[in-house]
Amino acid sequence: MLNFNFQAPTRILFGQGETNKLGKEIRKHGSRVLLVYGGGSIKKSGLYDQVVQILADHAITCIELSGVQPNPRIDSVRQGVTLCRKHQLDFVLAVGGGSSLDCAKAIAAGVKYEGDPWDFFIGKAFIKEALPIGSILTLAATGSEMNPFTVISNPETGEKLGTGSTRLNPRFSILDPVHTFSVSAEQTAAGTADIMSHVFEQYFSPTPGTYIQDRMAEAMLKTCIKYGPLAIAEPDNYEARSNLMWTSSLALNGLLSTGKITDWATHDIEHKLSALYDITHGLGLAILTPYWMKQVLNEQTAAKMATYARNVWDITETDDMQAALEGIAQTANFFRSLGIPATFKDIGLNTDQLTEIAADVTSKGSLGSFKILTYEDVLNILQSAYWGTGF
Amino acid sequence: MLNFNFQAPTRILFGQGETNKLGKEIRKHGSRVLLVYGGGSIKKSGLYDQVVQILADHAITCIELSGVQPNPRIDSVRQGVTLCRKHQLDFVLAVGGGSSLDCAKAIAAGVKYEGDPWDFFIGKAFIKEALPIGSILTLAATGSEMNPFTVISNPETGEKLGTGSTRLNPRFSILDPVHTFSVSAEQTAAGTADIMSHVFEQYFSPTPGTYIQDRMAEAMLKTCIKYGPLAIAEPDNYEARSNLMWTSSLALNGLLSTGKITDWATHDIEHKLSALYDITHGLGLAILTPYWMKQVLNEQTAAKMATYARNVWDITETDDMQAALEGIAQTANFFRSLGIPATFKDIGLNTDQLTEIAADVTSKGSLGSFKILTYEDVLNILQSAYWGTGF
């Protein structure tokens, strides 16, 4: 186990009806709010009206930034910064999923910075200050509600990049599982895959001796495997939605990465794919993951991948390599059982830019850590995931 | 799953050598420190000298309160409060295990309160303010390093009572597993039992639908079962010590109690025992636990106890009641394998006060929640645990 720091400063208000505490929570930090949200889903569900009413009841000024897209764009961030400055806002509230949250975070940092907020993502500037942020989560997926990270896309440059700062930890996040009842089967599947991918990126690590972290990671994977299908079959199943929602936060709040090197190769590849093809993040991850697993399986990694197969999928095979292969097959089958397409071909991508992606993600040196990936490795993952080779 | 709030504001600095960051961490909050510790173990290990040197290097004034005992007493708290006031101290640093930490917390609150600090424990006063607290942990057991609770004994009244406040969360806790290399086999066993008991108190709950919490609880129990014996056999095994140490914090930082009613009957009984007989907390818990498990096992509770048996002890028995009984037997055997005496008779207690304890812990109404215990239940647990009935 490596040395680490851990702190989870975001106040989580979890459960049905917790939205009513919104006004009081914001009032601890500010009174002039930028409300960041996506499309019409929160208007359709009635959550938008509820939020606006609560803000009015607490005499909180509210300026809106709507239309934040999946794979949120730097243009929305710039727009939000302008609004905050123009109206002298002092708090950013995201209502939605990870896209609204990530956009809100980038805005909160951008307001306190004189240059262009894209500078944070290309390493030209560091986040030293930010407006306080809060969120009402409507999708169990990214974990952004309980962590300091933000990922933003720049269509002009074809980049999707992340940054982070302790200043970006939301002061509070309201997690009411009822708000996720209306999430579609496809989005529930993608969200479940996103949570599982976050766990995989931290579970498959070259660091030995992280027993407690690994068993907790398996607990989260089992939760996704149990409740992902149930939430799709019964969208208003509170038990399923609540377990997925809390797991989404726990999977990326720093707990699983304590004391270990993490991988994130699959995310790096997917971010480039999303930037070029604008596909749903969770779908991209679900398609890539089994192929990544096959690519990294070797004599060195077989033992850990066999542990995954046995502890998560109850595979009884005693040979490590064989057990690992069975675990990978189960993973692929599970994602398909959620209705996720098996290949990039199935979602209408083309092969034009696969070599470009492989070159790009390996251009900055090593990619991944569980097994460090070369250009050839990444190209093989992408081509296999395009054609569905091996499954 | 019930509604809940969660926040883990304590900054954990984990790993070998992290003690060197002490001065910088304290300086964020204060410069005049009360150093709270127990006996000579930190002097013997060299940690005391290191701490004093770091404080001097950072121009931090240091006043000492030493001699804090296991089951820390209200007298030590009063003494600490007097010292803080006399020397106008602004920070309380505990170096040791849960006893030093709990004492430091009570002092930190007591300084800001005009009355007697025991008032907090008997419900006569609430903690509204406290000095900032930090800790260097030397024993994996109580979890006090990452939570807002403190338990203090009052020998005059024969009481051992707890209280809590968000003001008592340590600002930081330094967890260097190397500091636990010198912990004796007996204390390592008691600490492991204490961690496991914290998990049990939260795992065995009447609340349904807490799948993610339950799987994480099992992860922590497995960690204790794997590494408790290893840390006893190889006291300087870093992997064992680090897994136990991080698990001790995770087991009682609020994570496992999210969304559920918790039990704490075993702790309530043990606190009364400790107050009257001054036995080691972890030993008392280890002796009581299997008898508590037997007492609460019935048609309603068998399914959950069978889940425990299967998921933690790999028991394959399909009948719930039988599987539960096998799990209880494994629990008892495990504590004995750590060298913990099996009965209260074995540690030289007498039976004089068993009825008094049973009457006392059930006097305030219901005790426990997984199964609510009556006076007769508690007396049966105590008598069985005294004579070793049934194992």
b/e code B308-318 from CB counts within 10 Å (16+ = b): bbbbbbebeee
Tell me the three state secondary structure of residue B233: helix
| CB < 8 Å from A in window 211-250 of B | 211-212, 215-216, 218-220, 222-223, 226-227, 238-239, 242-243, 246-247, 250
Report whether pLDDT(B40) > 90.
Answer: no
Q: What is the pLDDT of residue A138?
A: 98
What value does the mean pLDDT take over residues B31-51? 95
Asked if A3's CB is within 8 angstroms of B7's CB, the reply is no
Q: Which pLDDT band, with edges at 50, 70 and 90, does A62 fall under?
A: very high
Backbone angles phi, psi at A389, to 5 degrees: -65, 130
Chain B residues near residue A223 by CB distance under 8 angstroms? 211-212, 215
Closest B-chain CA to A239:
B209
Beta bridge partners of B32: B61
Task: Return the beta strands (E) in chain A as ranges.
Answer: 4-14, 32-37, 61-65, 91-96, 133-137, 149-154, 159-164, 172-175
Residue B171 touches chain A, beta carbons under 8 Å: no
Which residue in A1, A10, A21, A199 has the most chain B C-beta atoms within 10 A of its own C-beta, making it the best mutation to test that interface?
A: A1
Task: Return the beta strands (E) in chain B as ranges.
Answer: 4-14, 32-37, 61-65, 91-96, 133-137, 149-154, 159-164, 172-175
- In chain B, CATH 3.40.50.1970 sits at 11-179
- In chain A, CATH 1.20.1090.10 sits at 184-387
Asked if B8's CB is within 8 angstroms of A9's CB, the reply is yes
State CA B353 to chain mean position distance. 24
Q: Which run of H or E residues covers position B106? A: helix B98-111
Q: What is the pLDDT of residue B274?
A: 86
Which residue in B6, B25, B227, B243 has the most chain A C-beta atoms within 10 A of its own C-beta, making it the best mutation to test that interface?
A: B6
Chain A residues near residue B230 by CB distance under 8 angstroms? none
- In chain B, CATH 1.20.1090.10 sits at 183-387
Residue A363 touches chain B, beta carbons under 8 Å: no
Cα of A391 to nearest chain B Cα, Å: 30
| CB < 8 Å from A in window 245-264 of B | 246-247, 250, 258-259
Q: What is the pLDDT of residue A364?
A: 84
The amino acid at A252: L
What value does the mean pLDDT take over residues B264-278? 92
Task: Among A10, A14, A212, select the one facing B246 at the smallest CB separation.
Answer: A212
Report whether pLDDT(B75) > 90.
Answer: yes
CATH class of B183-387: mainly alpha
ipTM for the complex shown: 0.96
Pairing of the two strands A149-154 and A159-164:
antiparallel
Cα of B221 to nearest chain A Cα, Å: 9
Does residue A48 contact residue A66 with C-beta atoms inside 8 Å?
Answer: no
Q: Which pLDDT band, with edges at 50, 70 and 90, does A84 fall under?
A: very high
Structural domain A184-387, CATH architecture: Up-down Bundle (1.20)
B381: CB partners within 8 A, 6+ apart:
B269, B288, B291, B292, B295, B373
Asked if B9's CB is within 8 angstroms of A10's CB, the reply is no
Asked if A211's CB is within 8 angstroms of B226's CB, the reply is yes
**How far is residue A242's CA from residue A230's CA, in Å, rounded to a whole number?**
12
Tell me the three state secondary structure of residue A159: strand
Both structure tokens of A363: 């251009």
Cα of A277 to nearest chain B Cα, Å: 34
| CB contacts < 8 A (A, B) | 125
Nearest Cα to Cα of residue B213 among A311, A214, A250: A250
Task: Among A1, A3, A14, select the one facing B4 at the smallest CB separation.
Answer: A14
| CB < 8 Å from A in window 305-334 of B | none
What digits encode the pLDDT tens for the residues A212-227? 999 999 999 999 999 9
What value does the mean pLDDT take over residues A11-21? 98
What value does the mean pLDDT take over residues A20-43? 96
Task: Among B10, B209, B216, select the one facing A239 at the smallest CB separation.
Answer: B209
Residue B19 touches chain A, beta carbons under 8 Å: no
Instruction: Give the CA distances from residue A226 to residues A209, A282, B105, in Å, rounded to whole numbers and listed in that order.
Output: 27, 18, 41
**How far is residue A72's CA from residue A80's CA, in Å, rounded to a whole number?**
12
**How far is residue A204's CA from residue B196's CA, in Å, rounded to a whole number?**
27
CB atoms within 10 A of CB B115: 10
Nearest Cα to Cα of residue A152 among A275, A329, A315, A286: A275
**How far is residue B361's CA from residue A184's CA, in Å, rounded to a whole number?**
51
Instruction: Give the CA distances from residue B311 to residues A13, A33, A160, B324, in Å, rounded to whole numbers and listed in that order.
Output: 30, 47, 41, 11
Q: Which pLDDT band, with edges at 50, 70 and 90, does B365 fall under?
A: confident
Report whether pLDDT(B135) > 90.
Answer: yes
Q: What is the pLDDT of residue B278?
A: 81
Chain B residues near residue A259 by CB distance under 8 angstroms? 14-15, 242, 246
Q: Which pLDDT band, with edges at 50, 70 and 90, does B277 fall under?
A: confident
Percent pLDDT > 90 in chain B is: 93
Asked if A15's CB is within 8 angstroms of B2's CB, the reply is yes
Report whether pLDDT(B390) > 90.
Answer: no
**How far is residue A361's CA from residue A273's CA, in Å, rounded to a whole number?**
10
Please state which of the four CATH numbers 1.10.340.30, 3.40.50.1970, 1.10.730.10, 3.30.460.20 is assigned to the domain occupying B11-179: 3.40.50.1970
Report whether pLDDT(B239) > 90.
Answer: yes
Q: What is the pLDDT of residue B49?
A: 97
Rg from Cα positions in chain A: 20
Q: What is the pLDDT of residue A278?
A: 81
**How far is residue B320's CA from residue B190's CA, in Å, rounded to a whole number?**
29
Q: Which run of H or E residues covers position B289? A: helix B281-296
Average pLDDT of chain B, as a whole number? 96
What digits encode the pLDDT tens for the residues A165-178? 999 999 999 999 99
Report whether pLDDT(A22) > 90.
Answer: yes
Q: Which pLDDT band, with edges at 50, 70 and 90, does A391 fall under?
A: confident
The amino acid at B365: G
What digits encode the pLDDT tens for the residues B165-217? 999 999 999 999 999 999 999 999 999 999 999 999 999 999 999 999 999 99
**How far is residue B127's CA from residue A391's CA, in Å, rounded to a whole number?**
61
Closest B-chain CA to A174:
B5
A82: CB partners within 8 A, 6+ apart:
none
Instruction: Give the CA distances from residue B288 to residues A260, B273, B367, in Å, rounded to whole numbers and listed in that order.
Output: 36, 10, 15
What digits encode the pLDDT tens for the residues A92-136? 999 999 999 999 999 999 999 999 999 999 999 999 999 999 999
**How far is residue B29's CA from residue B132's CA, in Å, rounded to a whole number?**
7
| CB < 8 Å from A in window 258-297 of B | 258-259
CB atoms within 10 A of CB A126: 11
Closest A-chain CA to B220:
A212
Give the max Cα distance, chain A: 65
State CA A9 to chain mean position distance. 19
Q: Which pLDDT band, with edges at 50, 70 and 90, does A197 fall under?
A: very high
**How far is residue B215's CA from residue B256's CA, in Å, rounded to a whole number?**
10
